[in-house]
Amino acid sequence: MRVLGIDCGTERTGWGVIETDGRRHSVLAHGVICSDAREPLPARLARIASALRAIIAEHTPEAAAVEEVFYSQNVKTALKLAHARGVALLAVAEAGIAVGEYSPLEVKISVVGYGRAEKRQVQLMVRSLTGLGEAIESEDAADAIAVAICHATNTHGAARVGAAR
């Protein structure tokens, strides 16, 4: 199964595409959609949507996963992040792709085994789980791959439980 993982942000949206059987994962592509903080929010959201549509068209994922909004002390930041998530969910839905949504805690537990893991730990485990030889330069892309791995692991586990019934 090919899974697109998305780690939303209004300035940096990480993305990663993996091929997986639910246990073994390999990274096909990853990157970051960057926008200028000085641009109006609608223009940044349009850039994110356009880039995600192109990524979906190029890599044809069968499933997608998006990280849920992490509430911080700054409500304004959380609202902007929610806008970016909405754009990502829309781009995925337009393509007719099933999408999973996971909290940062769920992603970290799935990938690292510890819900309060540091970004560096997530990067190391993503590299280990996917067999990547080189380090993933962007934390945003590593987080997106982690979201995809979380979805693959959860989907595979649910399918095994369903088959056992």
Question: Is 140 noted as a catalytic residue in this protein?
Answer: yes
In angstroms and rounded to an integer, the radius of gyration of the C-alpha atoms of the chain is: 15
What does the DSSP assignment read for the chain?
Answer: -EEEEEE--SSEEEEEEEEESSS-EEEEEEEEEE--TTS-HHHHHHHHHHHHHHHHHHH--SEEEEEPPPP-S-HHHHHHHHHHHHHHHHHHHHTT-EEEEE-HHHHHHHHTS-TT--HHHHHHHHHHHHT-SS--S-HHHHHHHHHHHHHHHHHHHHHHHHHH-
The H or E element spanning position 5 is: strand 2-7
Query: 19, 67, 106, 143: which is the annotated catalytic residue?
Result: 67
Contact 34, 12 (CB under 8 A): yes
Please identify which of the residues 7, 19, 106, 143 carries the catalytic annotation.
Answer: 7
Active-site residue (options: 36, 62, 134, 140): 140
Residues taking part in catalysis? 7, 67, 140
